[in-house]
Chain A
Amino acid sequence: MARIGERRTKDVSIRVGGPAGAGIKAAGQSLSRTFMREGLWTMDLTEYPSLIRGGHNAITVRVGPEPFHSHAVDADVLIALDQLTAEKDLCWLVEGGAVVYDPASVTGEGWPAHVRKVPVPLDEIAKRNGGVIMRNTVALAASLALLRFPLEPFEAALHAQFDSKSAEVAEGNVRAAREGYAEAAKAAADFPLRLAPVADAPERILVDGNDAFCLGGLAAGIGFYAAYPMTPASTLLHYFARHEHDGVVVKHVEDEIAAMNMVCGAAFTGTRAMCATSGGGFSLMVEAFGMAGVTESAVVVGVFSRPGPATGMPTWTEQGDLQFVIHAAQGEFPRVVLAPGDREDAFHLTWQAFNLADRLQTPVVLLGDSYLSDNRQSVLPFDTERVVIERGKLIAEGEVHDYLRYKDTPDGVSPRALPGVKGAEQLVNSYEHDEYGWGQEGERAEVRVQQDEKRMRKMDLALALAPPPVTFGPLAADVSIVSFGSTKGPIRDAMDELAAEDVTVNFMQIVTCWPFPTAEVSDFLGKAKRSLVVENNYTGQFEQLIRQECLIAPDDRLHRYDGRMFTWTQIADKVREMARQEAPKTPEVIV
């Protein structure tokens, strides 16, 4: 077990645990926002079961003066709002860490000797100042006192939250916070950790992956969003619905089948259209996803994975759908699969996904997961100067002559005249079809070959247009990591931790998983002394892809499939272990 203050990084972590419905996530986020506004960097990790009340919820806020890329799991301070938290979550406490609890509801008996007990009469203080509902305020203030973090920013946050509702409630919360702060400062005057505001820090925003996807979509000019609620994608539906006034038609539909078919209809009118879901919802979308391929519809689909199969573990994370999205739907058609690694990627890849969909006239998948969708991180505001809108061969107005929707062209992309354009009679067709779109003609062998080749030719263009892999670290290293998606954060933190050691490591993040960047990955693995594939699933779907496309077998692999994301320490340990072993002479080539 780690000892308090032993972490190399200068951050601390606070875990808040309690029953569902007790405002755990909101409490953690108000801590994060307070810290962020005082110039610190933050990242939340929320853990909750799929129910509304009861059970056990927790949020861990990692906070520090220097940027980092992933979550913390061990806690320096644990706020135990109920007895269950004390029982379940003490295992996450570092040696010498503090537990803030209300002795009226949590016994504190039988805890290991190293635990620093900080009893605070949360309910009593809350009731005295306005009601039990304020107990989270008391507890959060107590945790700030332990770290000697000033209370004023938190008071300001309480005012910001409650002033518009009631001055009395705001004042009551502030008084409750002050009492909790004083009580904890008294009980743990010698607690060793310190956290201070950072002056003159740049402005940050607090976003989860879903916020970033939505901002990217808004920037791209999205005009239609359809979805059926499904964890962890549901908040996109809420976000876009709140932004209907910005010019988005948002439809909560009867099922994901309707969502995907509506998005294809919206794309027919030239609207930038998107839907998002998790693996289960995408299973329902699959037939229409294929229709988007054969009809050459420019659509963007978010698939944000959770552990499957079937209902699986709705509120936890996994990268188990990579091969599914690459192969989804019967038949063969071009598609692009983009895998953002963090919030910054999620923003930029979303507007780029719309451009790719328009330029290629084919479906583009944004492949994420719960870890990215659900957890908030403080980041610099996204660089909107980079956003451009490229609509490809779109003819939205005017007149066309001898128009053929599926005209055979050198790059496989046909001019796309929208309904409403004079002369744009066409049949967008889920059947194989000829250049006009007539279905019966599509049954002719030579027409089928022409149209199939025309569509598949777009993969060459996709490879040229889609974002290439990104490499971090030195050109040559003891260990070379290849991965995709949200493992990026823990991998980068592991690299930062290893930077102080006698181990060099570099990392290639595959941004476009399909079409696969075979040349870049082959080159990277070819130069690797020891190669490691990191992925959040059981079967090694990403490694299968590497073997299939590059004919190279990576030296080692790290998998996790318990519904949790890797910690950076887990990855660092694996790299250290590999670095100690003798390097294989040449990469194994599969013949």
Chain B
Amino acid sequence: MPTVSEMEQALTPTWCPGCGDFQMWKALKQAIENVGYTYEQFAVVWGIGNAGNGADFLRCQGFHGLHGRALPTATGIALTNPELKVIVELGDGDGYGIGGNHFLHSCRRNVEMTAIFHNNQIYGLTTGQASPTSDQFMKTPSTPGGVIEEPVNPVGVAVAQGATFVARVFCGDVAYTQSIYEQALRHKGFAVVDVFQPCPTWNKHNTFKWYAERAYKLEDEPDYDPSSRVKAFEKALSTFHDLTCAPDSCRLPVGVFYRQEGVPTYQEQLPQLDAPMWRQALQPRDLTAAMKALA
């Protein structure tokens, strides 16, 4: 099985100094090593953006897809090879904006795979426009008068739409991020991990300090029960914040919001998917019965 250093036999990261992507990269490699996949047992699919650029920095069996379309590409892999764990790396514009429709439908499908969203609340690669998760009233080159819309609520949407593992972390805490990744990877079902990932270059508002002052672990709430979908949704609604909120009036829960075990995965409900589907093309299928039905 590959170690962190083996996975690093790739190109040198080009993220800006201080980018939260470095912490996420570190956490993912360590989580993969800890879970113990061999190279033959997992595949990673990336979308496009600074999150997607991570494709060049991780040696594995990977697929760097299109902007917004990593989830369907990953689904195509997961639904045709039951021997692969599929990990998807997306950004906030990528996964919640242009790919929002796929996000909705991936949640309700419960395909077993892990989707990690680099949520920096800004478009980094295209130089700082508002993203679907930018806070309301935030001024950016595409919203000089401030963002008018409510931000997308990824945790709320995922819980509402049936994802069976929904977590959010702040990547500043690498060890905790890694532990949540490991739980997500071990989950039998569709796992969503939304990661607060500061962009020091383009988002001067949601900084490391800003997140660090507001984030607290859900598991520190004595009576929080991640098996309750209703509580998870309530908690997701409480996480909205605005640009000016003071740290103690604007708490950002992180950790596992919702986890439901034992829900049949999409793959488990496909009896024909008992081996990689390329094996269906070893020889021509017999069409006798299919043609008889048309006679």
Residues of chain A whose beta carbon lies under 8 Å from any beta carbon of chain B: 37, 203-207, 211, 215, 218-224, 226, 243-249, 251, 253-255, 257-259, 261-273, 287-288, 291, 295, 351, 354, 381-382, 384, 387-389, 391, 394, 396, 418-431, 437-441
In the complex, whether B83 has a CB less than 8 A from a CB of chain A is: yes
Question: When each residue 258-295 of chain B gets 1 if its CB lies under 8 Å from chain A and 0 otherwise, what string results?
Answer: 00000000000011110011111111111100110011
Most buried by A among B72, B78, B295: B72
Check A226 against B278 for contact (C-beta < 8 Å): no
Interface segment among B58-66, B189-197, B210-218, B235-243: the answer is B58-66
- Quick one: which of A205, A218, A257, A269 contacts B81, CB cutoff 8 A? A269
The list of the 4 closest CB pairs from A to B, nearest first, reads: A265-B76, A221-B281, A223-B277, A270-B278
B164 to chain A, nearest CB (A): 19
Which residues of chain A are within 8 angstroms of B104 by Cβ–Cβ distance? Answer: 254
Which residues of chain A are within 8 angstroms of B34 by Cβ–Cβ distance? Answer: none
In the complex, whether B147 has a CB less than 8 A from a CB of chain A is: no
Question: When each residue 46-68 of chain B gets 1 if its CB lies under 8 Å from chain A and 0 otherwise, what string results?
Answer: 00100001011001111111100
Which residues of chain A are within 8 angstroms of B55 by Cβ–Cβ distance? Answer: 427, 429, 439
Closest to B60 in A: A425
| Alpha-carbon separation in the docked complex, A203 to B271 (Å) | 34
| Alpha-carbon separation in the docked complex, A291 to B47 (Å) | 12
| Alpha-carbon separation in the docked complex, A304 to B116 (Å) | 37
Which residues of chain B are within 8 angstroms of A243 by Cβ–Cβ distance? Answer: 290
Q: Tell whether A384 pairs with B287 under 8 Å between CB atoms, given A261-B66, A264-B73.
A: yes
Interface segment among B25-33, B37-45, B165-173, B180-188: the answer is B37-45
Q: Tell whether A222 pairs with B63 under 8 Å between CB atoms, given A257-B69, A263-B76.
A: no
Check A257 against B282 for contact (C-beta < 8 Å): no
Check A219 against B64 for contact (C-beta < 8 Å): no
Check A269 against B282 for contact (C-beta < 8 Å): no
In the complex, whether B227 has a CB less than 8 A from a CB of chain A is: no
| Alpha-carbon separation in the docked complex, A261 to B79 (Å) | 13
| Alpha-carbon separation in the docked complex, A255 to B104 (Å) | 12
Which residues of chain A are within 8 angstroms of B287 by Cβ–Cβ distance? Answer: 215, 218-219, 382, 384
Check B64 against A254 for contact (C-beta < 8 Å): no
Q: Tell whether A269 pairs with B77 under 8 Å between CB atoms, given A207-B294, A247-B277, A427-B62.
A: yes
| Alpha-carbon separation in the docked complex, A468 to B258 (Å) | 58
Check A264 against B61 for contact (C-beta < 8 Å): no
Which residues of chain A are within 8 angstroms of B77 by Cβ–Cβ distance? Answer: 265-266, 268-269, 419
In the complex, whether B127 has a CB less than 8 A from a CB of chain A is: no
Q: Tell whether A248 pairs with B81 under 8 Å between CB atoms, given A204-B295, A266-B277.
A: no
In the complex, whether B136 has a CB less than 8 A from a CB of chain A is: no
Most buried by B among A220, A253, A269, A420: A269
Check A425 against B73 for contact (C-beta < 8 Å): no
Check A266 against B72 for contact (C-beta < 8 Å): no
Check B64 against A427 for contact (C-beta < 8 Å): yes
Which residues of chain A are within 8 angstroms of B101 by Cβ–Cβ distance? Answer: 254-255, 257-258
Check B76 against A425 for contact (C-beta < 8 Å): no
Check B66 against A287 for contact (C-beta < 8 Å): yes
Which residues of chain A are within 8 angstroms of B53 by Cβ–Cβ distance? Answer: 439
Check A387 against B284 for contact (C-beta < 8 Å): yes
- Quick one: which of A205, A245, A389, A420 contacts B295, CB cutoff 8 A? A205
A161 to chain B, nearest CB (A): 14
Known contacts A269-B277, A424-B40, then 10 further A-B pairs from the complex at CB < 8 Å, ordered by chain A residue: A219-B287, A221-B285, A246-B285, A258-B72, A262-B72, A271-B81, A272-B281, A388-B284, A419-B84, A420-B40
| Alpha-carbon separation in the docked complex, A37 to B295 (Å) | 8
Which residues of chain A are within 8 angstroms of B246 by Cβ–Cβ distance? Answer: none
A215 to chain B, nearest CB (A): 6
Which residues of chain A are within 8 angstroms of B74 by Cβ–Cβ distance? Answer: 265
| Alpha-carbon separation in the docked complex, A485 to B95 (Å) | 40
B279 to chain A, nearest CB (A): 8
Check A265 against B290 for contact (C-beta < 8 Å): no
